[in-house]
Amino acid sequence: MELRVLQYFLAVAREQSISGAAESLHLSQPTLSTQLKAMEDELGKQLLIRGTKGSRKVTLTEEGMILRKRAEEILQLVKKTEDEITLSDETIVGDVYIGTGETDIVRLMARAAKKIQEQYPEIHYHISSGNAEYVLEYLDKGLIDFGLIYGTADPQKYESIPIPAKDTWGVLMRRDSPLAQKEFIQSEDLWDKPLIISHQKSDNPYIASWLNRDISKLNIVATYNLVFNASLLVDEGLGYALTFDKLINTEGSNLCFRPLSPQLDAAACIVWKRYQIFSKAAERFIQQVQEFF
């Protein structure tokens, strides 16, 4: 399977039209159709459902959707590899790819990047946000250099640096809610309240333990993976969001944050694959992080 044909396939998936994709690729439609048919024959699976004469829209089969996801990852990894090889001379320039959840700890990584920028202004950073499953998946596939996760990583697979700072759990709520009058939130305060929680499964044991309740027995009205979206649900009165401090600026808004009591903290670490061969840019970044911590 050629990379060029994968690019053709992604163009068709994007345009939802063979003729539209052919135009964007500066190919003739018969040439593109022939290339796609050859790829389907090679894989032994139908990837595209061609539209009828009345409808030119092309849709993907289940196998086509799998290929689209993998093709995007393959081409991204090829681009990353090309950049690392092209830039592997004595000058430290290039890209550093980082995956992380939403956390104020990103500030520490930003300070390391800022320190490096003074000496190496041609290093660029690309931040991808997602939960721990997302970060580790991208790390395993080589699509990012480093991940920031909570808890511990498998020492057989990853190297890691513990981060000295911690995130503090609390409740994001409207200022006119009954619990806003309290300085701290205790577990029994939330037992009968509509809750909005992270849908990251690794968070559930900590929350359930603090609440002294099984998650399934709570009134969970919504889940989220981006706390900004959760804040909109809270602002509209849907419920109380359990989240980290310092992620939403509540000053001058309808919202407020109250920490939990007893205090519940989350420790994080920066991880990367064992035996990873870094680009010079990525190597300089992790050296600076180690100096900071």
Structure tokens given for 127:
């931040």
Least confident of 57-61, 84-88, 126-130: 84-88
Structure tokens given for 75:
């081409």
Cα dist from 111 to 84, 102, 148, whole Å: 24, 17, 15
**Interatomic CA distance for residues 17 and 20, integer angstroms:** 5
Among left, alpha and beta (phi > 0; psi -120 to 50; other), residue 177 is beta
Residue scoring higher pLDDT (53 or 142): 142
8 A C-beta contact, residue 80 and residue 143: yes
User: Does residue 187 have a pLDDT over 90?
Assistant: yes
Task: Average the pLDDT over 267-287 and give the result.
Answer: 89
Q: Using only the alpha carbons of the chain, give its radius of gyration.
A: 24
Computed from CA positions of residues 39, 41, 45, 50, in that sequence, does the dihedral angle turn out positive or negative?
A: positive
Q: pTM for this structure?
A: 0.71
User: Does residue 163 have a pLDDT over 60?
Assistant: yes
Task: Average the pLDDT over 57-65 and give the result.
Answer: 92
* Eight-class DSSP state of 78: H
Task: Write the DSSP string, 123-165.
Answer: EEEEEEE--HHHHHHHHHTTS-SEEEEES---TTTEEEEEEEE
Instruction: Tell me how crowded residue 173 is: count the other CB atoms within 10 A of its CB.
Output: 26
Helical pair 29-43 and 18-25, crossing angle rounded to 10 deg: 110
Task: Write the DSSP string, 177-234.
Answer: SGGGG-SSB-HHHHTTS-EEEE--GGGHHHHHHHHTS-GGGS-EEEEESSHHHHHHHH
pLDDT band at 88 (very low <50, low <70, confident <90, very high): low
Q: Work out the mean pLDDT of the chain and round it to a whole number.
A: 90
